[in-house]
Amino acid sequence: MHAPEPAPPDTLATITAAADGLLMPSESDYPFEPFSWSGTEPLTPELLLTLLGLPLDTPVEVRDALPLLDQLAAVQEWFGAYEQFIAARFATLRDTMAAHLTDLTLYRIGTIRITLIFAGRDHTGATMGLRTLAIET
């Protein structure tokens, strides 16, 4: 008789917990919120704009998410204890997302007030990740 398989972790809850309390640094700092999409087709710029209720001519850049996460996790030599702590938290977030999601992608939606969506697929194939805002003037 075999023991039952353990239930897989709730990936979105794990990622959300890793981001708890972190703010996206920009001209205004915004928190990270959970993002999930239950559809099975790939998350395209057009689909994202439709899901977000934005005009289809809104600019969308699609990038690998890891370079930005690496930048947020980088420790600078001038960092004090608090900045080092925040960088370590971003490193944990990056590692958590990379461990639980494949095809980790960054969607930059809009200009000036930019919606950032870090999304990938979990072990079931569901699309999920985090959403935040960055202000760039």
Task: Give the pLDDT confidence score for residue 21 in this predicted structure.
Answer: 95
Has residue 35 got a pLDDT over 60? yes
- Express each pLDDT in 80-91 by its tens digit: 999 999 999 999
Alpha-carbon distance of 122 to 82, in angstroms, equals 32
Has residue 17 got a pLDDT over 90? yes
Question: pTM to 2 decimals?
Answer: 0.89
Confidence of residue 69 (pLDDT cuts 50, 70, 90): very high
Count how many Cα atoms sit within 13 Å of the Cα of residue 124 in the half-sphere of its side chain: 14
Confidence of residue 123 (pLDDT cuts 50, 70, 90): confident
**Residue 4 corresponds to which tokens in the numbers above?**
């039952």
Has residue 4 got a pLDDT over 50? no
> Helix and strand tally (H, E) in the chain?
4, 7
Domains of the chain with CATH codes: 11-135 (3.40.1460.10)
Q: Helices 81-100 and 66-73 sit at what angle, rounded to 10 degrees?
A: 150
86-111 mean pLDDT? 96
How many other C-beta atoms are found inside a 10 Å radius of the C-beta of residue 75? 13
**Residue 18 corresponds to which tokens in the numbers above?**
């890793």
Task: Give the pLDDT confidence score for residue 38 in this predicted structure.
Answer: 83
How far from 1 is each of 4, 11, 39, 59, CA to CA, in Å? 9, 29, 37, 56
